[in-house]
Amino acid sequence: MARNIKAPRGNDIVCKNWRIEAIYRMLHNNLENAERPEDLIIYGGTGKAARNWECFDAIIKSLRELEPDETLLIQSGKPVGVFRTFENSPRVLICNSNLVGNWSNWEHFNALEARGLMMYGQMTAGSWCYIGTQGIIQGTYETFAALATKHFNGSLKGKFCLSGGMGGMSGAQPLSIKMAGGVALVVEVDPKRIQRRLDAGFCDYMTHDFHESMEMVKSAVQEKKAISIGLVGNCADVLPDMLAKGIIPDVVTDQTSAHDELNGYVPAGYWGGNLGDCDDFRKSDPKGYVEKSMKSMKIHCKAMVDMQKRGAVAFDYGNNLRGQAQKAGFADAFAYPGFVLAYVRPLFCEGRGPFRWIAQSGDPNDILATDKAIVEMFPENKLLMNWIELAEEYLPWEGLPARVCWLGYGERHKFAKHMNGMVRSGEIGPISITRDHLDSGSVASPYRETEGMMDGTDAIADWPMLNALLNCASGADMVALHNGGGVGIGLSQHSGMIVVCDGSKETDERIERVFKSDPGTGVMRHADAGYELAKKTAREKGVKIPMLS
């Protein structure tokens, strides 16, 4: 029987202190916002919060009993040990999906998972940092805003933006494009996913009819009206059909679950009413299903490349569609760039990235108070000011109220410390601070965040491991180290973290260390790779890099 898991609210706690209680609530919040909570799957088709329900219950019991000077160890969603450490040590350490290099592939992982020995943590799913669709909306918005600046004189008004997928992460696309002023058409196989985005206010319309969707797009483009449309269909069918009809969008990208050809991606010919047949196919003939998925991804990717050749701005949004299509035999799969290489890397050089905070009280007014504080602290950051205004206008609360914005080195620790002061004064309740694993110094992913590094170090995984170790040494409350992420097993290494603002002076000290160390590793990593902007940031901000030239 499915459980109805919701994060606790209010000031009464069941754990020994707020540093543990907040992590306990974050785990519950993941499931409150999950795609398939009955299967412990948070997003991305396979990203789980715990290995199974027995492990989930054991984690909950362990957190309730955890002493303030103990650390709980989680191995791929299973609690495996509790050790006495220090009060300033992390309360929880997590490792998910990590395999020795030669064995780091889907085949070996799937065999271990089938035996109940591992789980796929995705990114914020397995580190209990997921905050619902808002978690990726701001990064998606930043990307489309940067795209508009680079290609369309700063605005997406009157521009047709086409994409695929409306799941836990990809569901951010319709609203992000709309907030950037564009016309969004997002193709999704499952109408339930679109309906969920409609209900939450992330999408304006849903249609099963291709012709109707094109009429809506045409009208909105002519009127320069920002809207979002969800089309029930399959990208491997819809995009080639659009090409045949001579319909070329201004922008094309994709966020389907292309990293997983068996459990994530849905092959051509399946959408809407016949998804049950697709599930039967997956179970009865896994090998045939994978073959059809790979062929479909090749078709899907080729259609995007063909649209690019005919004038569309095309970019990859981090789901490994290009890698899968290349594996399936499409030699030109990497004709379009990844979004970090195309738009985001200068931000990473400044230690800038997705900084998130969550109201543990469950009171939205706590977040609104922090919104006011952040715009007062950084009035010169016009993009931030605009984002907070848009977020308050458009974004619904999902689970525990939360906010996300992009802050750089030097800004994160100042704002985090200010929020801890607000907790101390009683202005707001306790706050958890986290970030996406997609950040300046927390990831090595050659098909996404570290694609095309200046010095060719795309695949060196030392950097996110150093980030995780440094966050432990600096006193973060939770630190996680994952393999895979949104691109698949063996294709990335990344780390996550949580710091809890409980209002104490001791937390002020932890904040000062963690929120200099964490983004500082991003400045360090990019300076080491030769980026002049990162070197400049290090010099100006006082990031000590021994061999900085």
Tell me the pLDDT tens digit for each residue of 447-465: 889 999 999 999 999 999 9
φ/ψ of residue 188, rounded to 5: -140, 135
Q: What are the distances in angstroms from CA 301 to CA 171, 255, 288, 538?
A: 20, 12, 20, 39
User: Minimal CA–CA distance to 42: which of 70, 77, 18, 75?
Assistant: 77
Least confident of 94-108, 315-329, 516-530: 315-329
What is the spatial distance between Cα 488 and Cα 121, in angstroms, rounded to a whole number? 10
pLDDT, tens digit (0-9, with 9 covering 90-100), for 493-513: 999 999 999 999 999 999 999
The reported pLDDT for the residue numbered 1 is 55
Per-residue H/E/C for 477-489:
CEEEEEECHHHCC
Segment 412-439 mean pLDDT = 96
Residue 171 has pLDDT above 80, yes or no: no
Q: Provide the angle, in degrees to the nearest 10, between the axes of the packed helices 462-474 and 505-528.
A: 160
Q: 9-12 — which CB contacts under 8 Å span 24+ positions?
A: 9/361, 9/362, 9/363, 9/400, 10/361, 10/362, 11/361, 11/429
Segment 508-521 mean pLDDT = 98
| Set 301, 405, 472, 501: catalytic member | 405
- The counts of H helices and E strands in the chain are 19, 17
> In the structure, what pLDDT confidence band is assigned to residue 320 with cuts at 50, 70 and 90?
confident
φ/ψ of residue 414, rounded to 5: -65, -45
The reported pLDDT for the residue numbered 130 is 94
Residue 143 has pLDDT above 60, yes or no: yes
Residues 6 or more apart in contact with residue 45 via CB below 8 angstroms? 167, 257, 260, 263, 264
Q: Which two tokens stand for residue 106?
A: 């889907």
Residue 374 has pLDDT above 70, yes or no: yes
pTM of the model: 0.86
Residue 5 has pLDDT above 60, yes or no: yes
pLDDT, tens digit (0-9, with 9 covering 90-100), for 97-129: 999 999 999 999 999 999 999 999 999 999 999
Structural domains in the chain, CATH included, are 18-114 (no CATH), 134-336 (3.40.50.10730)
405 is catalytic: yes
